[in-house]
Amino acid sequence: MGLYDQYLAMRIRVVDTAPPETVALVLTERDLLEDGAYETMAQFLGWTFAFGADQVVVYVSVLDEGVIPTLRRELKSMESSQRIAVRTPDDEARADAPVQVSIGLGGKHEFATAVQGIAREVEAGALEPDALTGDDIERRLVFPSAPDLVVKTGAERLSDFMIWQSVYSELHFTDVNWRNFRRRDYLRALRDFQERQRRFGE
């Protein structure tokens, strides 16, 4: 580890701003088709937990659902010291693990599925439409946590991921190729996060 990395890590540890507890990472399937992609992923997960995160959510956007089985297999065989829950567009079950991965399960779709669940309870008479609250929605989302920090590779675009959960998230864009993403790149994202004042629109 270089001096600069050590310096960055030290800066992050001495600042009294809390580190992000929930970190989201947004990638594309192409990032994961390249050599070394899963090694970078395993390292990334290690860095996030080492720097105070207790939850990591990864979104892999896919151009073609045909790639999902391949990605799922690779992710399952990846070495990780944390439990990983993988969800795809057909899944409705809530993800419950320190590392949660969505392969192609986008935010609009996730939200619509949650409302479908609500609709079933309304039909069964178990829920009154007027009494519906944000909690009723959050209970039915596949990915329950709101990310404090979203790290996205590639262009500065928003992504169709956790659209309800990420409305207040700090966004960090990096143009580093995923397979070249290093510890220092994550440290930069953390420093960036700490330097911003979180005001929640007040």
Residues in touch with another protein (CB under 8 A) = 28-30, 33-34, 63-67, 70, 106-109, 111-112, 114-116, 118-120, 122-123, 127, 129-130, 132-134, 136-137, 154-161, 163-164, 166-172, 196, 199-202
Q: Which is nearer to another protein, 107 or 143 (CB)?
A: 107
Name the phi and psi angles at 199, rounded to 5. Answer: -110, -5
Residue 126 Cβ vs another protein, minimum distance, rounded to whole Å: 11
Largest CA distance in the chain: 63
Which CB, 45 or 59, lies closer to another protein? 59
Query: Closest separation between CB of residue 23 and another protein, Å?
Result: 15
Of the candidates 197, 200, 92, the residue with the CA atom closest to the CA atom of residue 146: 200
The answer to whether 96 and 85 have CB atoms below 8 angstroms apart is yes
Integer Cα distance of 80 and 71 in angstroms: 16
CB of 134: closest distance to another protein in angstroms? 6
**Residue 82 Cβ, how far from another protein at the closest point, in Å?**
27
- Written in H, E and C, the secondary structure of 35-54 is CCHHHHHHHHHHHHHHCCCC
Please, what is the Cα angle at 64 between 63 and 67, to 5 degrees?
A: 115
Return the number of the residue (13 or 108) whose C-beta is nearest another protein.
108
Residue whose CB is less far from another protein, 97 or 167: 167
